[in-house]
Amino acid sequence: MSDTAPAGAAPAPRRRDPFPANWPARIGWIALAAYTVYAASLFQLTWTRFVEGLDNGARFIARMLPPYLGKWDLLWRGLSESLEIAIIATVIGVATAMPIGLLAARNLMPNWVTWPARGLIALCRSFHPVIVAILFVKAVGFGALAGIMALIVASIGFIAKLFAEAIEEISLKQVEAVRATGAGFANVLIMAVQPQVLARFIGFSTYQLDSNLRNSTMVGIVGGGGIGATLFTAFQRFDYDFVLTILIAIITLIMIGEVLSGWIRRTFQ
């Protein structure tokens, strides 16, 4: 007998399989793969088409080089306008988002306050900044004002939601203790809520500044002012060498912004 179980003993009861197959998940993955192949076939995404595209791309890049080093005033005006749009939109956006985020925090506010606040946030988030920018260009006309307003809306949607979530994650024990001293609501906010969320608020705000810098280069394409307008014009005039200069300038601007926001975060934390 090779079996280790004593002869005649009943076979050990079969235990439940601890790793059962998750069929719904498998079907989901297979469906995703199948749909991707189907969708690609609709657009005739073939290898030959891809190689043709590469060829075209190479010609495009060749026309960009070397970058055109004139029109400094045009470049500078675009860049500084983008920077102004980003900073104004971030300051106003964050300042507006803070009270809205507070009103949307379900642990501090009653339902009849959080619902409208959440609705407003959802509205601000429902469109991509490009669409909002187009709407504002149509509403208030071409220029930086439209760009600023579009980015304010985007900032409110993003920051207010994160603020509300940060406030909802605070420790209510700390709030309870301050409330127990007889402190009014404003003092509870200042001494019990703000210390718990300030570091995260700074983090979100600098991230939003980053993001607004990027977006401020984009709103110009639809008429919202800034370097985007310069870039769009250069594209239309086939000034691809100047396009490259603008792209490099934008990269520099974004990187400076990145460094700057990192510095702000370190200073305030």
Q: Which two tokens stand for residue 93?
A: 């956006």
What per-residue string of b and e applies to 163-188 under the rule 16 or more CB within 10 Å gives b?
bbbbbbebeeeebeebeeeebeeeeb
Q: d(Cα 17, Cα 47) in Å, to the nearest integer?
A: 45
Contact 104, 159 (CB under 8 A): no
Contact 268, 199 (CB under 8 A): yes
CB of 170 to another protein, least distance (A): 10
Contact 86, 151 (CB under 8 A): yes
**DSSP string across 58-98:** HHHHHHHPSPP---HHHHHHHHHHHHHHHHHHHHHHHHHHH
Q: Which residues bind another protein (CB under 8 A)?
A: 171, 173-174, 176-184, 186-188, 190-192, 195-196, 198-199
Q: Which is nearer to another protein, 52 or 176 (CB)?
A: 176
CB of 103 to another protein, least distance (A): 18
Task: Report, in angstroms and rounded to the nearest whole number, the Rg of the chain calculated over CA atoms.
Answer: 28
CB of 176 to another protein, least distance (A): 6
Q: Which two tokens stand for residue 217?
A: 């280069």
Q: Which is nearer to another protein, 110 or 182 (CB)?
A: 182
CB of 197 to another protein, least distance (A): 9
CB of 199 to another protein, least distance (A): 8
Q: Which is nearer to another protein, 113 or 183 (CB)?
A: 183
Q: Which two tokens stand for residue 3?
A: 């079996």
E strands of 42-194, at which residues? Answer: none
CB of 192 to another protein, least distance (A): 6
Q: Which is nearer to another protein, 87 or 191 (CB)?
A: 191
Q: Which is nearer to another protein, 64 or 191 (CB)?
A: 191
